[in-house]
Structure formats: C-alpha cells, structure tokens
Amino acid sequence: MKNDRQSTRRPGSGDQPVRLQKLLAEAGLGSRRQIEGWISAGRVRVNGRLAKLGDQATRADRIRVDGHEVKLKPKRDSETQIIVYHKPEGELVTRRDPEGRPTVFRRLPRPKQGRWIAVGRLDINTSGLILFTTDGELANRLMHPSHEIEREYSVRILGEVAPATLERLTSGIELDDGLARFERITDQGGTGANHWYNVVLREGRNREVRRLWEAAGCTVSRLIRIRYGNIELGRRLFPGNWRPLTDEERTGLVTLAGLRVLERPALRRPASSSHSSRMREKRHFQVKLHKP
C-alpha cells in the first residue's frame, strides 16, 4: 500500500527526513505543539507545497513559514541555550499582549540564535521559576507528560486544611479535564490565617495546582513555583532576573529530557542581572517561602 504521508526529501540530500515539526523545533522556531498548529493552519510550505501534519523534511528542503524562508543551519549542541527566570506576579508568559500588560520576554537577554521558547507557563498571578531554551525539541520533551518531570510549588492556603483533605489531594480528585493529584504534599508551617505547603506534581495542565486546591474547598492566596525537574529557584535569584544554568544543572536537565548532554555556551548577563541590580531587587522581595 502506498504511504499517503508526504516525504519532502529531495534527491541528493545527505540528510535523513524527519517530521517537519521536529525539524523546525530543533531549529528553535517554537515547540512541536506550536509548530503543529502552524501546519494545521496552513502557514507552512515545503518546496512550494502546503505542508500537512505527518509530512517529513530535511535541512536541504526549502521551507517557508508565513511566506518567509526558514534558514536551517546544521545544528550544533553548543548553540542551545537554557536559562532560568524568576517571574514576578503580574507578568504574562506571552510575546505580545493586546492589553499592553508586561510580559516575561521583555526582560530576557537576546539569544545568540533562534528565539526563546518557554518551558510551560505560569498564570499572571503565579510567580517563580520558569525555564527558557532555544531548543524546541528540548522544550517539548521537558513539557511532555510522558517524561513525568516533577514540578514543585510553594502554596499559601487561607485557613486550616484537614488531614482528610490532604489525603484526597494525593489520592486524586476529578477535575473538568480528568483525574489529577499531587505526588506529595509537605507541610511548611505557618501562623495565623495562612499556612504554607510544598506540593509536587508530574504534569503541567492549565492552572492545575490552583484547581486541585479549589476542588478540595481550599483558597490559594499565594502560589510560587520553586522547582522544575532538577532546577531550583533558590533565594538569590530575585523577581525579574534570570541566570544561565550551571554545567551540573544543564547536564541533569538534559538527561531528564532523555537527550544526550549538550555543551553550555557562554552567555553574558545583562546589566539588569548585575550584582547591584540584584541588591536593589532584594528590598522588594523579603518573603520567605516557608512562612506567611
């Protein structure tokens, strides 16, 4: 039977064809999911043909997105950049907002090649750790549920939480989009009306942490992501600042994603992440995650 999925490989190309969305993601154009949306919307052409989901291509093919030619240079591991950013409350994880609200991308450094791809999202009222990379394949693997990479959050709850409620949250609660649960919950203490908990889950559904607590009848008054996989937020990265990963962090993260270890490129910090700037930010961030 003839395969009805189009292979766009041209004669003489010394490159093995791969799925189009994978090829473009590796070039840093976006995550696989984003690019699949572009293909479905008819925004991508390969060698003059309108691309379809399932099509394959190589770096030798002529690829256009929205009429603009995509230059696919041979990928080198050293070009992949990964940074961690401390998102403040009030910022959106989007490139442009019709209402003119601030976005995370305004504070990030200019990448050497490609563009920054956010590894997951945080809503406008959630602060904390968010990873950015120029490698779409890496971003896709870090977000994909099949890899079950842990996300940890510090949550401030208004009022007391009964032991039976904590049991429900780790056993599973049915949400609109299916059963969800926390892998574990750690009591971090608190006084007065507020109490802090650290919670861990292995997927990144939309507003999942808030929805789980709300489904259990609890009110979330503060939410901070403090870890993604092996990368921790720490106390020295203040809101609105970023840093490159250490060699050890980078190796661990790439291994979690099931990819081979990449070399870390040099990445200079902008003035906004200088020591003096961090000291100024410190005055505005005195909240300790384990206390209300």
In this structure, what token pair is assigned to residue 173? 């609660």
Q: CATH second-level architecture of 18-70?
A: Roll (3.10)
The pLDDT score that the predictor gives to residue 68 is 87
- In order, the DSSP letters of 242-292 are EEEPPHHHHHHHHHHTT----PPPP-PPPGGGSHHHHHHHHTT----TT--
Q: What is the pLDDT of residue 46?
A: 93
CATH 3.10.290.10 in the chain: give the residue spans.
18-70
Answer CATH for 79-282 from 3.40.109.10, 3.40.50.10800, 3.30.2350.10, 2.30.40.10: 3.30.2350.10
Q: Do 168 and 176 touch, CB atoms closer than 8 A?
A: no
pLDDT at 73: 63
DSSP letters, 170-182, are HH-EEETTEEE--
pLDDT of residue 283: 39
Domain limits, CATH 3.30.2350.10, in the chain: 79-282
Mind listing the pLDDT tens digit for each residue in 177-228?
A: 999 999 999 999 987 789 999 999 998 888 999 999 999 999 999 999 999 9
Q: What per-residue confidence (pLDDT) applies to 80?
A: 85
Alpha carbon distance 22, 15 (integer Å): 14
C-alpha of 196 from chain center: 24
| Whole-number pLDDT of residue 261 | 64
Per-residue pLDDT at 160: 83
Residues 6+ apart with CB under 8 A from 207: 123
Which residues belong to the active site?
Answer: 123
In the chain, which residues have pLDDT < 70?
Answer: 1-15, 73-78, 261-292
Pairing of the two strands 194-201 and 184-189: antiparallel
Alpha carbons within 13 angstroms on the beta-carbon side of residue 51 total: 31
What does the pLDDT read at residue 15? 64
Provide the pLDDT for residue 2. 40
**Residue 74, pLDDT score:** 57
Q: What is the structure's pLDDT at 113?
A: 79
